[in-house]
Each structure stands twice: as C-alpha cells, then as structure tokens.
Amino acid sequence: MELAIMSLGIKLEGSHDGILIYHLLCMYAPFSSLRHYHVKNFLSQQMSAYKALTRTRDEGKGKSKHKQRVLVLSSRGITSRQRHLMNDITALLPHAKQDTKLDTKSQLFHLNEIAELYNCNNVLFFEARKHQDLYIWMSKAPNGPTIKLHVQNLHTLEELAFTGNALRGSRPIVSFDDTFDASPFSRLLKELFAHIFSVPQSSRRIKPFVDRVVSFTLADNHVWFRNYQIVERKDKGAEDDVELVEIGPRFVMTPICVLQGSFTGALIYENKEYVSPNVVRAQISKRHGQRYQQRTLQKNERGIRRENQVMEPDPLSEEVLFK
C-alpha cells in the first residue's frame, strides 16, 4: 500500500493518514481505469479536508475560540498630550497592535482594511480636531457597530504620578457599575468596552498575573475611566486583605452616536444632550462680543449725554457783555 501511495507522490504524516488513504484506495479500486493524476488529485483534496477538520477540532479543545485583537492608531494633528494618552492606553492592552497615523478623517471605512491586514477584530481610533479636541472611535471590525465618544478631562501617567505600579502586560479585571445594565445603549457600551479592554488568555504578550482593575462608571451621561492596582495590605488585623491604588491614566468620555456598521452604516443612536465643543467656544466668543457691544454702546451714550449737558452761557459774563 505504501509503495502505491508513494508512487502517487503523497507524503504520509502519521498512522491516521495511512489508514485514511488505504480506505480511499479501496473506494477507488472499481475505477482503476481512470487516469493516474485523477486519483492523485482526489486523494490530495480528501487529505486536505481531513487535516483541516482535525486541526480545528484539536484547537477547539485546548485554546479559546474567541480571540480579541485591537488595532490602535490616531489621525493627523494629534497633540503630544493626546499621543501620550494613546500610548498609555496601548500599554494597558497587551493584545493591541499599533499602526501609523491615518491621513484621512472623512473616509474612516479604510480602517476596516487596515484591521484586516493586522488580523484585528477591534479598532480603537483617536481622532484629533483643531489640535485641541479628541474623539475616540471604538468599532467591531468588519461588521460593526461603531461608537464615537468625546474625551474630556484627560490626564496621562506622567501628569498624575501616582504611587501605583502594576506589571506591564498583566491581565486586568474589567469592572462595570450597575448603571450599564439600565438601557440597551449602556449594555452595548459595556459589551464593546469588554471586548476591547478585556485581555484574552490566548494573547502571546500577556503575563500570568492579575494585579490591575480597569473601572468604567456611567454617571451624568458620561463614562469615567480609572485604572487601579491591586495591593495587599500589610496590616494583619484589617478586614480586607487588598486595597486599590490608582495608577492612571484617567479621563472622561461622552457618548455621541452609534453607527450600525464599522465606521459606516445607519445612525442607530444619538445623544441629544451632547453639545459640541465648537458650539461651546462659539457661545463664549459670542458672550465676549456682546460685552464689547455693550462697552461701545455705553461709550456712545456718554458722548450723547455730554453733548446734551452743555451749560448755557452766563448773561453777566464778559463774552456776553462785550460781544
């Protein structure tokens, strides 16, 4: 049997492969009049299908089926402070892959192709506007959904300089408060945050330790992000053996909208209470303009009053008597 198989040019890789080919040859025995290369092509196709099935069956037993990889990149015009925040968040994600800056801000659907090249199913895109406003796009590539958030009150690790210090590459405990289960939109937020910030066990760059807690709190229609270190207490008489020490970074996110697809699709949610920072700056400048108008109006009124308050000449004055 082995000589017949070797004559067909098929390489055996185990006892199971030999048994399978033996049965295939028995099936092909009545059709011995067929040409040699037909038999060879048929056996090769059957062997490749058999190996694919056995490989997926073996991998499903020992490894996790759900692999999360996050693509992290930014747009042009990002400031140094915003770039430091992006690097701090990337350091918290051992399963993240960074790419160079994206040149366009209008055609964000190209991020799906970049994520496919890096074999990532999550995208974390930092978009900078006017060198002062920062937006975060979180998407599940390539089918969506996509959430856009406005970042405020951001503080990097260098600015905070907290005493906490966790192991780089460790897996965090992702914590959510009960408010995330109140509405379908908050549940969607919770699910997307869990997919991006939960480090899978199958990641190659993780450390086998859990010494951090990533906290998400939904309050006042804002999402508050905090990162803590789990520290064991030295006091033996304490009720709790561990305590949380903040590491950083910290920032606040305001949800803006949700798209059905990945950076495309219909608008399925919009935050009606969100006010754009452009509108806020326009109102501030308008308020300053109103102050200028009031000062100008008061100046004109003073000039008119001075003209109307001119005293009549004295009849006994020299100008009137010797005129």
HSE-CB for 303 with a 13 A CA cutoff: 6
Q: Residue 80: its pLDDT value, please? A: 92
> How do residues 194-211 score in pLDDT, each as one tens digit?
999 998 887 778 888 888
Count of CB atoms situated within 10 Å of the CB of 222: 15
Give the residue from 141, 135, 86, 88 showing the smallest Cα distance to 110.
141
Count of CB atoms situated within 10 Å of the CB of 191: 13
> How do residues 105-144 score in pLDDT, each as one tens digit?
888 989 999 999 999 999 999 999 998 999 999 999 888 8
Average the pLDDT over each of 36-45, 92-101, 228-237 and give the range with the smallest value: 36-45
Q: What is the pTM of this model?
A: 0.69
Of residues 32 and 144, more confidently modeled: 144
Please provide the DSSP assignment of 245-256 as one string: EE-S-EEEEEEE
Count of CB atoms situated within 10 Å of the CB of 96: 22
For the chain, what is the mean pLDDT? Answer: 81
Of residues 30 and 75, more confidently modeled: 75
Q: Which neighbouring-strand residues pair with 254?
A: 150
Q: Which CATH class is domain 70-277?
A: alpha beta
Beta strands, E only, the chain? 70-74, 96-98, 122-129, 133-140, 146-155, 170-176, 207-219, 222-232, 242-246, 250-259, 267-270
Of residues 170 and 237, more confidently modeled: 170
Whole-angstrom Cα distance, residue 66 to residue 195?
10
Q: How confident is the model at residue 146 (pLDDT cuts 50, 70, 90)?
A: very high
Pick from 69-83, 95-109, 160-174, 240-254 the range whose average pLDDT is largest. 69-83
Q: Determine the residue type at 41.
A: N
Q: How far apart are the first and last CA of the chain?
A: 144
Give the residue from 243, 258, 252 showing the smallest Cα distance to 218.
252
How much is the average pLDDT of 223-244?
Answer: 82
Give the residue from 3, 2, 5, 16 showing the smallest Cα distance to 43.
5
* Domain definitions of the chain by residue range: 2-62, 70-277
> How do residues 213-230 score in pLDDT, each as one tens digit?
999 999 999 999 999 999
